[in-house]
Structure 1
Amino acid sequence: MKEKKLNILLLNKTLFNPIFPARPAIIEIYGKDLPSFGHKVTWICPGKIKKIIKKKIYDVDLYIIPLRSHKKSVIIKIFNLISMSIKQYKLIKKLNQNSSFDIIQARNSVFNILVSLIISKTKKIPFLYQITFINRDNNFQSEDRNIINLLLEKLTNIFHYKLIKQADFIFPISLLMKRYLVVNKFLDEQKIYPLPMGVNHKSFFPSHNIEDLKKKYNLDNNKVFIYIGTMVKSRKLDLIIRAFHYVKKEINNTKLLMIGDGRGKDELKELSLVLNLDKDVIFTGQVPYSEIPKYISLADIGLCPIAPNFIYKMSSPTKMLEYMACEKPVIGNREILEIASVISKSGGGILVDFDEKSFYLGMIKLARDAELIKKMGSYGRDWVIKNRSYEMMAKKIEEIYFQLIHRFYSNHSKLKQKSESVH
Structure 2
Amino acid sequence: MQKTIIGMIFHGEYPTHPRIENQALHLISEGAEIHLFCVTYQKKKAGMVVHKGINVHRTYLPNWMYKLSALAYTFPLYHRLMSSHLKQFIQNSKAQTLHLHNMNLAQPVFDINQSAKLPIVLDLHENVPEIMKLYPHLQKGLGKFLINPVVWKKKEQEFIKRSAAIIVVTNEAKEEVLSRVEIDDSKILVLPNFTDDSFIKPEYDKSLAARFKSKFNMLYIGDTGVRRGLESVMKAIPLLINDISNLNLIIVGSSSNDENLRVLMQKEGVENFVSVEGWQSENLLADYVNVAHVGLCPILRNLHHDTTYANKLFQYARLGKPILASNSTAQKNLIESESWGLIHEANDPEDFAKQLKKLYLDETLRTQLGQNAAKSIRKKFNYSSSEFGIEFYQELNLR
The TM-score with structure 1 as length reference comes to 0.84
Q: Does 1:369 align with 2:362?
A: yes
Matches within 5 A, 1:331-342: 331-334=324-327, 336-342=328-334
State how far apart, in whole Å, the 1-side matches of 2:394 and 2:355 are: 45
Contact 1:178 1:192 in 2 (8 A): yes
- SS of 1:165's partner is helix
Partners of 2:236 and 2:215 in 1: how far apart? 17
Query: 2:162: which partner in 1?
Result: 166
1:416 corresponds to: none
Aligned-residue Cα RMSD (Å) equals: 2.6
1:264 to 1:139, Cα distance in 2 relative to 1, 3 A: closer
| Matched ranges for 1:7-406 at <5 A | 7-16=5-14, 21-30=15-24, 32-50=25-43, 52-67=46-61, 68-69=63-64, 75=71, 78=75, 81-96=78-93, 100-110=94-104, 112-134=105-127, 135-136=129-130, 144-146=140-142, 148-151=145-148, 153-200=149-196, 202-205=197-200, 209-215=204-210, 218-334=211-327, 336-354=328-346, 355-393=348-386, 396-406=388-398
Farther-moved stretch of structure 1 (81-90 vs 121-130): 81-90
Counterparts of 1:15 and 1:362, CA distance in 2: 38
Give distance in 2, aligned partners of 1:48 and 1:224. Answer: 37
Q: State the shift of 1:290 in Å.
A: 2.2
The aligned amino acid for 2:186 is Q
Distance 1:138 1:164 in 2: 18
Q: Give the deviation of 1:349 after TM superposition.
A: 0.8
Counterpart secondary structure, 2:189: coil
Displacement of 1:70 in angstroms is: 5.1
1:36, 1:72 → 2: CA distance?
A: 36
Distance in 2 (alpha carbons) for counterparts of 1:219 and 1:48: 36
1:231 shift after superposition: 1.1
User: TM-score, normalised to structure 2's length?
Assistant: 0.89
**2:160, 2:323 → 1: CA distance?**
35
CA distance 1:277–1:313, change in 2 (3 Å):
same
Distance (whole Å) between structure 2 residues aligned to residue 60 and residue 206 of structure 1:
22
* Amino acid paired to 1:284: E
Q: What stretches of structure 1 of length at least 5 have no aligned partner?
A: 408-423
The alpha carbon displacement at 1:143 in A equals 6.2
CA contact (8 A) 2:79 2:108 kept: no
Deviates more, 1:223-232 or 1:50-59: 50-59
In 2, distance between residues paired with 1:25 and 1:300? 25
Is the Cα contact below 8 Å between 1:10 and 1:42 reproduced in 2?
yes
CA distance in 2: counterparts of 1:222 and 1:263, whole angstroms: 28
1:170 Cα deviation from its structure 2 partner: 0.6
**Cα separation, 1, equivalents of 2:37 and 2:372:** 38
Q: Is the 8 A contact 1:234 1:307 kept in 2?
A: yes
Unaligned runs of 5+ in 2: none
